[in-house]
Each structure stands twice: as C-alpha cells, then as structure tokens.
Chain A
C-alpha cells in the first residue's frame, strides 16, 4: 500500500498515453508510465518511487503483441514475463527471463517494466542486447524504431514522455545457439550474483551480463577478447576479465573480487558450451 495519492490513467492508444503524460507533466505531477506496476508498489512503499499520475500502459494493443512479422519477432512491452515464457517464441529470452524474480511475480512483471526498471538487474534485456534487436519507442515525437544497442547505455535512454512499446528481433538470432546461466549468492533463488547470457552467431560468441556491474551490459571489448582464437581459452578469458567495465558490484550478494572468480568460471562454461 502506498501512502501517497496519485491519479491513475488507463489509456487505450499510444497518442492518448503520451497526451496524458504531457498534460500531467505540465501540471507538475511527476507522471510515470507503468505496466506491471510492481516497482511503483514495492519501491513506492519505502519512498524510493513517487508519482502523482500513473499512466498504465497495459491496455494499449501494440504493447500486447507477440508475433513474427517479416522475419522479425515482435514482442510487446506490456506482456508479462510468464506470458512470454509460455509462448516460448525466443528460447534464450525464455531461459533468461524464467530466472527473474519468481514464477508468480513474473505473472505481473512486464517486459517493458523489467527493461526500464529502476532495479538495476534488468535481466530481460540481455537477450535483446545480444540479438541486436530494434526497439519501438513512442513519445511526443511519434513512433520511432531504433537499434537497442544504440540507445541502451546501462539503461534504456528515453527522453521525457517516451516509452517502450515493442522489441523486434531478427529471426536469425532467435535460432542461434545460446546459453544463459544465473549464478546466485547461494542456491537457486534470489537476485543474480552474475547472470550471463550468450549466443553464437557467424562464428562469434556474444555475451551480456547482469549483476556484475550496477547495470546490465554487453561489452564489445570483452567479446573481442573471447573471440580471439589466437589465444588459448584460458588466455582469452583472462583478457576478457581485464575488459570488464567498472565498477564491479561489491554488495550483499558478493564482493567484487569474488564476482571475478565466478565470472572466470562462467566464461569457461560459456566458451565450453559453444565448442
């Protein structure tokens, strides 16, 4: 339960949503798009999130699609993670997503909410980073399609009033061999200590991480190191480790030193999987 009050809107169209946002913003209401609302509820109750106007995107049809169109898999941002997993159109996504939170919570958490969330793991973005997906963004300037890797830098960079409505992924990547491993502090539940998602395309391994740094990322430098076939596997891993962006997380899930130890083994498993 939230102790603050806010207006709640349920727009049916993209334009309506944007209009509501702009209007509320003009009135100084700190508007917020929501889809699953789980962050609003859980961070709001401990005063880490606030709004006076919540614009719930769930009813917008474009955000609820999940289909192949012209060689692309298009997934709506409003879909819950369990819906996406049930359909299982993108196995790497299913695999990565099904380790987020827990099954019941994933029935409420949405793809858009996870990718755009404040909670910095945003694990569902990893497969799309690997697959060079396109994101469909809606905002005051209309609908734009952009390569995810261009506008994702630690988080999805959106301008005021913009929201994510769809993610489109080239069929080629959907069928590429992949592996995804979530390592936790202990056993099988909880936030990631490190989550790695990887796929192999055109003979090259791609890797993306969550939980290693306070943001999810894909690093071209790490990939270059991992794909340097002149080196032994061990040496490739060592040079990839040297390219990990900073800061490396050092928190209750694990120290940064320990994360590096774990990462090294994970990379061994990733490379091993594609041999």
Chain B
C-alpha cells in the first residue's frame, strides 16, 4: 500500500492525515477526519451530496483525490457557523430527509460568496449540480433566494 502523510487545511485548521493515493477527499474527510457532513451519494460526481468548498468554489469531494487537496483552503459544512443559507434552509423547509442538505448548502454558500447578484439562470446553473429526491426544489429555490437577498442587505 502506498501511504502518504499530507497536510490538509480544512475549516481553517491544518490537519495531518495519512492517505492512499487512491483515496478520495470525500473518503478521507469522512473516514479519517470524522467530518461526515459531506455524504456519499454516488461516488461518481453525479449527485452533489458530497459537495464541499475548495478555495471558495463548490467541489464534489468524490471527484478529488485527497492528495490533490494539499495547499487548498477546504471548507466543509462543519466549518459553517449559522450562516444565512443554513437559517434559510430551516425556515423554508428546504430539506426533508436531510441527506442532500449539506451538499446543497455548501453549493449555495459558494454561490452567495461568488455570485452575490446571481439571477435565476445562474442559480439554476449552479444548483442543478445536486439532486434532492425529497423536496420539490421550490423550497430550496425560496431558501437560496431569500439568503441572497438578506446577504445583499448585510453587505450594503
């Protein structure tokens, strides 16, 4: 087995972890670092349940090897602290079973960061990266729009 000891900057902490080259970042943060917020839904880049942020952008952590994560700023849902988008998800019932929720929230979190003025088509382009099997998406749409709106007021 080829093991590498690497440093990962996750949620503003440097974590040292031993990985195989074939380990995905998803596997590593869940199994080695105990950050189980990111979920395995397909391990194939299709569902978005494993979405985290890398250097501020959304990233499917099943599409990234842990060794690729060196030198990047990684944020998982555990690193968010009561953000507008989390509040909006609660208020607008934008989850049911909750399994897709961390991935959706991390994608939305990036969206608000990178595209604070996102219009409908940008929101759609970003959010079609994730699957929610429970809600109708309308709840998620309402949540993300209300968070974008509040974010504008905050930053003004």
Contacts and interface: CB of A to CB of B under 8 A. Distances in A.
Q: Do chains A and B touch in the complex (CB under 8 A)?
A: yes
**Majority-rule SS of B interface residues:** mixed
Interface string A37-80: 11001101100000000101010000000000000000000000
Given A37-B68, A108-B59, A5 B22 contact: yes
A176 interface: no
B2 A5 contact: yes
Contacts of A108: 45, 59-60, 63-64
Contacts of B63: 36-38, 41-42, 105, 108
Interface-centre pick from A6, A8, A36, A44 (highest chain B CB count, 10 A): A8
Interface residues of A, number: 29
Contacts of A41: 24, 45, 62-65
Nearest to B64: A108
Interface size on B, as a range, is 20 to 34
B1 A5 contact: yes
Interface of B: 1-2, 4, 20-24, 26-27, 43-45, 48, 51, 57-60, 62-65, 67-68, 107, 125-126, 128-130
19 contacts: A1-B27, A3-B22, A5-B1, A8-B65, A36-B63, A41-B65, A42-B44, A45-B44, A56-B68, A101-B45, A102-B129, A103-B128, A103-B129, A104-B60, A104-B129, A104-B130, A107-B59, A108-B59, A189-B128
Interface of A: 1-8, 36-38, 41-42, 44-45, 54, 56, 58, 82, 98, 101-105, 107-108, 188-189
